[in-house]
Amino acid sequence: MTAVKICGLTRAEDVTAACALGAGYVGFNFSAASPRRITPETAREISAAVPAGVLRVGVFAAEDAATIARAIAAAGLHLVQLHRRLTEEEVAASPVPIIAVARQTGEDFAVPRRDLLVRCHAVLFDPSEGTGKALDPARIEEASWPVPVLVAGGLDAENVGAVIRRLRPAGVDVASGVESAAGIKDRGRLERFFAAVKAADA
């Protein structure tokens, strides 16, 4: 099955629902610019609802190494997702594996250097960064990548199947497409999203 990452989680009940439906990753946003931002203390509380085998991901943008380290320790993060230019120093110093983010710049994606990318857990193509901006699959389908590919950007139950069938990514990442409000997941939308992923895989 295509792995599903439910991102921007802020409530324990949403964590429980996402994991029960089959999420492979749960994302906690620590970026100061995000409407889904939570504190390390909140992340510690709600991460208690994450069962064994589901990977806890911390999402960061401009936060410094000390802030990231505190969040990793508080929430028991398995991975960090970095929405910024990846550096050699950051890759070498990270206490957990990194999901590198290929951010959209104009019509193209700014992909991290290959020598850094191969040391990462995965690469996420994300034109949206939580805003719901739609992914254009044509921008990434022609290239090959040295690590698993995750995709995000305006995904919901209506379009995720077509993206999976076209790109066959290792995983899909969704936040706003399964919400009733920023950070508040909707059980019905979650159920429909997972059903669409399973249908596309079948």
Could you tell me the residue ranges of all domains in the chain? Answer: 3-201
DSSP 178: G
Lowest mean pLDDT among 54-68, 95-109, 179-193: 95-109
The residue among 124, 137, 117, 136 whose CA lies nearest residue 175 is: 124
Give the three-class secondary structure for 154. coil
pTM, rounded to two decimals: 0.93
Please tell me which residue, 1 or 78, carries the higher pLDDT value: 78
Q: What is the pLDDT of residue 142?
A: 58
For residue 152, name the pLDDT band (cuts at 50, 70, 90).
very high
| Mean pLDDT value across the chain | 92
Q: Are 120 and 99 in contact (CB under 8 A)?
A: yes
Question: What is residue 126's three-state secondary structure?
Answer: strand
Residues involved in catalysis: 7, 126
Check if CATH label 3.40.50.720 holds for domain 3-201: no
Would you give the distance in Å from CA 188 to the centre of its chain? Answer: 20
**For residues 49 and 80, is the Cβ–Cβ distance under 8 A?**
no
User: What band does 116 get if pLDDT is binned at 50, 70 and 90?
Assistant: very high
Residue 188: closest CA among 146, 153, 145, 156: 156
**Rounded distance, CA 198 to CA 84, Å?**
32
Q: Are 142 and 171 in contact (CB under 8 A)?
A: no
Pick the residue with more confidence: 174 or 141?
A: 174
* Whether pLDDT at 137 is above 80: no
How sure is the predictor about 50, in pLDDT bands with cuts at 50, 70 and 90?
A: very high
The model's confidence at residue 128, banded by pLDDT at 50, 70 and 90, is low
pLDDT for 40:
97
On whether the CB atoms of residues 82 and 122 are closer than 8 A, the answer is: no
Beta-carbon contacts of 105 under 8 Å, excluding residues fewer than 6 positions away, are none
Evaluate if residue 177 carries a pLDDT over 70: yes
Residue 63 vs residue 144, higher pLDDT: 63
Whether the pLDDT of residue 129 is over 70: the answer is: no
Of all residues in the chain, the percent with pLDDT exceeding 90 is 83
Asked if 197 and 171 count as a contact pair (C-beta separation under 8 A), the reply is: no
